[in-house]
Amino acid sequence: MKDSFINRKYVIMAIVVLATLGLLVRLFIIQVIRNSYRLSADNNVLRYVTQYPARGLIYDRTGKLIVYNQAAYDLMVIPAQTSKIDTTGFCDILGISNDLFRKQMKAAINYSRRAPSVFLKQVSDETYARFQEKMFLYPGFYVQPRTLRKYSKPVAAHVLGYVSEVDDGVTRKDPYYKPGDYIGKSGIEEAYEKQLRGRRGVKIFLVDVYSRIKGSFEGGKKDTLAVQGTNIVSSIDLDLQEYGELLMQNKKGSIVAIEPKTGEVLSLISAPDYDPALLVGRVRSENFAKLQSDSVLQPLFNRALMASYPPGSTFKPINGLIGLQEGVITPETLFECHRGYLFVACHDHPSPLNIVGAIGNSCNAYFCQTYRRVLENPAYNTIGDAYDKWREYLSEFGFGNKLGTDFVNELRGFIPTTDYFDKYYGKNRWKALTVISMAIGQGEVGTTPLQMANMTAAIANRGYFYTPHIVKSVGEGHNIDKRFTTKHIINIDTANFEKIISGMEQAVNSGTAASVKLKDIIICGKTGTAQNPHGANHSVFIAFAPKDDPKIAIAVYVENAGFGATYAAPVASLMIEKYLKGSITNKAMEKRILDMNLEGSNSEAER
């Protein structure tokens, strides 16, 4: 009996020893081999607060600040750490309703009871200050700092773009972005997102059972600093941009101005536009929906880059250049103007005219006959071959293709191919007269205002251009992409450009745009009236100045405004004088343009 008890004692002791060893092994695994439990414990006493970097600032070409940052705060919540709180007092501090409180808490719980999530985005400085004083009353809630965009002037919305929160598509595509991050949308903000965004950091804090911060973890040794985004100097002249937007108030259309010798965009205006501040902060979604739903004015539609307009008579300089280069006309070639030639109307002017006079007086018949000679050139086997060569010249100017700017939403316009006409009319069944309307920038041809401004810059440079771009320098190194410093040479002799420029000078000095000439600045320009099948014609004008040392090339479209000389030309002249002189001499013309209201017109740009 005694031996039986002794044996039982040993068995019990063995069980105790084995159980103790099992516990020790389990503790070793938990504490040494596996760190998930340790991390879970850490998460109960540590708070990881993301340090969002301030986005880089954006300046204009003269150093004026356009876009900067203002402080804002995201109110975070860890549902498991919240207890009974004074909901009414909480809502009063934040200026929200009880219904919103319940909705946000439900969303946070559905996300995770123990992981932090955003309860309320972009709380203002004032609200944060009030909440900070009483935050100890609301365990489980804390504030995470971040910044929002702020604008020095309510202009250049289409140039600058906006910033919005990333969606699931972005986070799946790019692992850098996490839920709650913000990303640039359109304009400079999108094109230079990687430079502007900076780099996130993190601070680790010790918190007590009431979720109150008690200090940095390990003295901040494991914290990482946020790195501010890179500053950018845009090519925009802020004063010129603001003035152009003022001129285009109550109108539809676009202005694009370029510095010819660099390709830098001096102003890019799409009207109607909007105040960029509307797309900042908690009101962004609501305002974006309102802007997007405006199907009449379409303020979010960037006409400068995305509208495909017929260029009208502003296309004549190109056809004149091609005719001279191909040798089908010479500077001395004269054509009679028969109004109604080939069913194309014209207006009163001297006749016959050479190339200089034809541009100065915008003679339709002259360019129809020139274009016909280009396509019927016996140097080519077929009209298709001649047309392909004509289209090749246009491609050198950037028509029918994206120019490759730093704008992400640039469109290519439309220059039809021979296949297009073969399909439409039948192979070898179309002739020069079939497509004669393209001689004067009508018919199937479609160009963007940016492309027309670039063409004008190429003419001003006597045969070359730099890819238009919106940024002058990035960061301390003042670097820009090398594609913006590469000269694009056009295969047309400089002497031919000089003849076209003489015609454009005549157009402003004594021709179709004589009403907008300036006393002390020689402007070379070309008027256009672009036919619009959906309503009133568009007023178009291209120009550069001064003639011998061009500093600005410009294209202006005013939708549904009629003759180019009536509306688009005055806008361009005012912009040129504003940029070159800083003031306006023709106050009467300025007042007429400012008072003009065409916003209620019944048509929009062809796309």
* 219 and 337 within one domain: no
* 20 and 114 within one domain: no
Domain count, the chain: 3
pLDDT at 536: 81
| 389 located within any domain | yes
CATH code at position 81: 3.90.1310.10
pLDDT at 13: 72
- The two most distant CA atoms of the chain are separated, in Å, by 140
CB 413 within 8 A of CB 437: no
pLDDT at 84: 79
pTM above 0.85, yes or no: yes
CB 212 within 8 A of CB 132: no
pLDDT at 80: 84
| 41 located within any domain | no
* 541 and 397 within one domain: yes
Angstrom distance (rounded) from CA 488 to CA 380: 26
* 567 and 491 within one domain: yes
User: For the chain, how far is it from start to end, CA to CA, in angstroms?
Assistant: 105
CB 489 within 8 A of CB 465: no
Angstrom distance (rounded) from CA 133 to CA 205: 19
| 225 located within any domain | yes
* 517 and 403 within one domain: yes
Angstrom distance (rounded) from CA 224 to CA 87: 35
| 210 located within any domain | yes
Residue 264 identity: E
Determine the structural domain holding residue 72 and report its residue range.
47-155+197-233
* 228 and 120 within one domain: yes
pLDDT at 534: 74
| 190 located within any domain | no
Q: Which two tokens stand for residue 231?
A: 């500053």
Angstrom distance (rounded) from CA 506 to CA 262: 26
* 559 and 499 within one domain: yes
| 391 located within any domain | yes
- 426-474 per-position pLDDT tens digit: 888 999 999 999 999 999 999 999 999 999 999 999 999 999 999 999 9
CATH code at position 557: 3.40.710.10
CB atoms within 10 A of CB 214: 11
| 117 located within any domain | yes
Angstrom distance (rounded) from CA 254 to CA 245: 9
Q: Which string of DSSP letters, residue by residue, matches 8-27? A: HHHHHHHHHHHHHHHHHHHH
* 419 and 310 within one domain: yes
* 254 and 272 within one domain: yes
* 521 and 474 within one domain: yes
Say whether 286 sits in a helix, a strand or coil. helix
* 403 and 262 within one domain: yes
pLDDT at 347: 78
pLDDT at 345: 72
| 393 located within any domain | yes
pLDDT < 50 regions, the chain: 35-42, 603-607
* 410 and 374 within one domain: yes
